[in-house]
Chains A and B, each alone.
Chain A
Amino acid sequence: MLFPYKSTDSGIHRLDARPKVAFVLAIFVFSILISDIAYLIILLALVLTVAAAGRVLRPTLGLLRYAAYVAVFVILFNILISSGREVIATIGPLTVTSESLLFAISMCLRLFLAVSAFGILTFAIHPDEAMRVVSRVGYKTTTGLSLSTRMYPTVAADTQNITDSMRARGVEFDSGGFLGKIRARSHVVMPLLLNSLERSIAVAEAMEARGFGSSRRTNYSERRMSRSEGTMMAMFIAAAVLGIALFILGYGNADYLRGAGLNWSSGDVLAIAAYLLLLSPIVLGGRR
């Protein structure tokens, strides 16, 4: 209920976490490097297809709805400080130029791309598995991270219960204007902090009693990747590397504020085709 990940039987869920994390990382790299709108639209379509294949499209779109609020702001902001010469509309004292509009759209698409990749990470990868992938960094860090995932629903429930208690003690949460609401919410912070503090001491004690922190330890599950999963992971990493190389060569990098248009070269078509070829195998998912 409170937890974003739900175990679902889909090809994407069955796939080993490592290729999935590699896929998400590749998409993150793209969302940072690529600014060309056409590239972004195609990649976004790919990620949403993956979300649909993993039956997590609905929650991912839910995340995108929040991103859309930010997008509205990004677009308005860009129009306000508009630069460029190609005026396409005038609203009162504001002029909308095609340069700033295209730039704003590109920024929004990058945001959507990153957010939808985050959706895959959150909704289609088991947090324990994701942690295990990251665990190469260090075991204690990983346990700390895993623990915070595990405790998330507990803290969320605590927040709800404390809010209920405060209501029962006469604190109004739903009226009294913006400042009033903020003040009401602030009453939740202190008990939540104290509860979490007491909890963390108890958890630390329980972990110590179970031998956590001893120098040598073993690892329970080391799932082996199948050959196809290994190949997929290699392809996704290759896509990210290719993306960096092509970025340096100037592909997918459209500077709309300096008048770049929506034109495509044959090189662009090849680059996009290469990305799709390398990334799309993820929809095949893992074996049953």
Chain B
Amino acid sequence: MIEIEKLSFAYSRSETPVLREISCRIEEGEFILIVGKSGCGKSTLCRALNGLVPHFYGGTFSGKVSVDGLDTRKTPTSKFAGLVGMVFQDPENQLVMTNVENELAFGMENLAVEREEMRRRVTQFGEYFNLKEYFDRFIPELSGGEKQKVALASVLAMNPKYIVLDEPTSQLDTENATLFLEFLARLNGEMGVTIILVEHRLERCLRYARRVIFMEEGRILFDGGRDAVERSLREKNLLADFRRIAGREDGYGEAIVEARNVHFSYGQHPVLNGVDLTIRKGELVAITGANGSGKTTLIKQLNGLLRPESGSISELGKDISKATTASLASELGYLGQNPNDYLFEQTLRKELEFTLSNLGVKEGEWDERIEWTLSVLDLARFGEVFPRDLSCGERERTALASILVGQPRILILDEPTRGLDYWNKIKLGSILESLRREGMTTVLVTHDYRFIAEHATRVLRLEGGKLSEAPLDWVIGLASEGEGRKAEENA
């Protein structure tokens, strides 16, 4: 049993506590879901369960956490490794060996498990997770979903009683996220492992949990059985049904992106096989497709990051086959998957000035453009803040700001909702919608069917290297499937 008594905690060099007098009890065999806005303290609470808080982070700690009678403050973290397993958000940052088999063994080696026993468990979990064929594979070559599965398997191989997972599916697409969550439910049911899951995609994982803890500003606001808290969750707007936000207006403007018969391959591996695409002014087009279907490859053709092997692409009436990405940047904004790739200046304002100076915008216009961008993206209060100090959702908007400040006419976004919590997603959606009403044309690649269902004016599906129009109902169906409800309820 895990017992938390009046736990308060503040990170070093910060005066505001992240956790405020938290008390609760976690019994063995539970499946608990912890939800709340980014920054509500749920990740910190997770880290308090195995002593990373305070041992790894330092800071001011009061109250008490004990796991099976062991006080986390008096016991070193390595002691908890075999008792409380932890799976983190980004699979990229928690796998340390180069191949899968050694990865599974890594934690056990640290716990000094005998070799024979390690072999037995590696085989057992390799089979249980269907990983045996991957044993020799290089970890960097695995997909995100596979990596996260390896991370979970290697934690389980340490035989922990409790597993704490901090947004483990936030970097995964819907299909892989569902598979991963189903797996957790199985572990809980078949092996009796206690699961403590932090997630913000409530619609995805509520059905697996038996108990839900809702946190706000470092406190537990409510805590109870799934059915008991459902009403409160709805009141918090967390279980809202689809709301079609983008109207299906007809008669968009002139065609501003036109691709004809585009082919592209990586070496021998063809990815785009005669893609035709027309995008009209004012549309918000979503491109979807399975992992590895070439969605990112496709949008990189649109701004010159990649060049088609054959076929033609024109934008705003001009052929772009010779234009560099940088020369297209003032008309065409591109935001890649990881906002961190955009952030390096000391303040958000300087970040925007960097783009403006590259684009050759006259200094006299800078202030006006910066003010406009910050207000559109709801970032005005962060102008003088170091962008890397911001939360995940704020970083996403900051990276978008560094593009939007150039006032492009077309926006291309690659997985913009990845890692965003519910509230930040709503915010992003309404920003895109208001930009669209002002005439912005947006192309976005995403796996987030719910986001598409709510915001896209048109959906395209990339399959077998070709693009086809996909009916909106199909997307709504997929979104409902991911959320475990029937499509008719939402149609």
Contact = CB atoms under 8 A, between A and B. Distances in A.
A209 B86 contact: yes
Interface in A168-220: 168-175, 190-191, 194-195, 198-199, 202-214, 216-220
Contact of A220 (B92, B102, B341, B388): B102
Secondary structure type dominating chain A contacts: helix
A172 B76 CA distance: 50
B335 interface: yes
A100 B481 CA distance: 76
B92 A154 contact: yes
Given A167-B329, A168-B334, 18 more contacts: A2-B140, A128-B102, A143-B96, A149-B98, A161-B337, A161-B341, A167-B324, A168-B305, A169-B403, A173-B326, A195-B341, A198-B340, A209-B77, A210-B158, A212-B78, A214-B111, A217-B111, A220-B108
Interface in B314-362: 324-327, 329-330, 333-338, 340-344, 354-355, 358-360
Contact of A198 (B85, B336, B388): B388
Q: Among B78, B326, B327, which residue has the most Cβ atoms of chain A within 10 A?
A: B326
Nearest to A189: B344
A1 B343 CA distance: 27
A171 B326 contact: yes
Interface string B72-97: 00001111011001101010111111
A190 B342 CA distance: 10
Contacts of A198: 340, 388
Contact of B110 (A162, A169, A199, A211): A211
Interface residues of A, number: 56
Which interface residue of A174, A219, A220 has the most chain B CB atoms within 10 A? A220
A172 B96 contact: no
The residue in B88, B140, B300 that gathers the most chain A C-beta atoms within 10 A of its C-beta is B140
Contact of B94 (A3, A202, A214): A202
Contacts of A202: 88, 90, 93-94
B31 interface: no
Interface in B30-52: 50, 52
B441 interface: no
A218 B336 contact: no
A153 interface: yes
Contacts of A3: 138, 140-141
Contacts of B77: 208-209, 211
A164 interface: yes
Contacts of B95: 150
Contacts of B355: 169-170
A164 B306 CA distance: 10
Contact of B112 (A168, A204, A213, A214): A214
A156 B140 CA distance: 11
A214 B107 CA distance: 11
Interface string B356-382: 001110000000000000000000000
A155 to B, nearest CB: 11
Interface in A1-18: 1-3, 5, 7
14 contacts: A128-B102, A161-B336, A167-B305, A167-B325, A169-B403, A191-B344, A202-B94, A213-B78, A214-B78, A216-B112, A218-B115, A218-B118, A220-B102, A220-B119
B86 A169 contact: no
Contacts of B479: none
A218 B113 contact: yes
Given A3-B140, A171-B358, A212 B110 contact: yes
A165 B85 CA distance: 36
Contacts of A212: 78, 106, 110
A7 B88 CA distance: 29
A122 to B, nearest CB: 13
B324 A150 contact: no
Nearest to A190: B344
B428 to A, nearest CB: 18
A127 interface: yes
A170 B112 contact: no
B136 interface: yes
B344 A219 contact: no
Nearest to A218: B112
A146 B369 CA distance: 47
Given A217-B109, A220-B108, A150 B96 contact: yes
B302 to A, nearest CB: 11
A168 B111 CA distance: 47
Contact of B140 (A7, A153, A209): A153
Contacts of A218: 108-109, 112-115, 118
A221 interface: yes
Nearest to B86: A209
B85 to A, nearest CB: 8
Given A3-B141, A217-B110, A221-B102, A206 B344 contact: no
Interface string B234-251: 000000000000000000
B93 A199 contact: yes
B118 A210 contact: no
B336 A220 contact: no
Contacts of A268: none
Interface in B95-148: 95-99, 101-102, 105-115, 118-119, 122, 136, 138-141
List the 9 shortest-distance A-B pairs measured between CB atoms, nearest first: A211-B81, A170-B358, A220-B105, A211-B110, A206-B94, A167-B325, A202-B93, A168-B334, A153-B140
Contact of A210 (B76, B81, B334): B81
Contacts of A172: 324, 326-327
Contacts of B98: 126-128, 146, 149-150
B303 interface: yes
A208 B105 contact: no
Contact of A203 (B94, B118, B327): B94
B393 interface: no
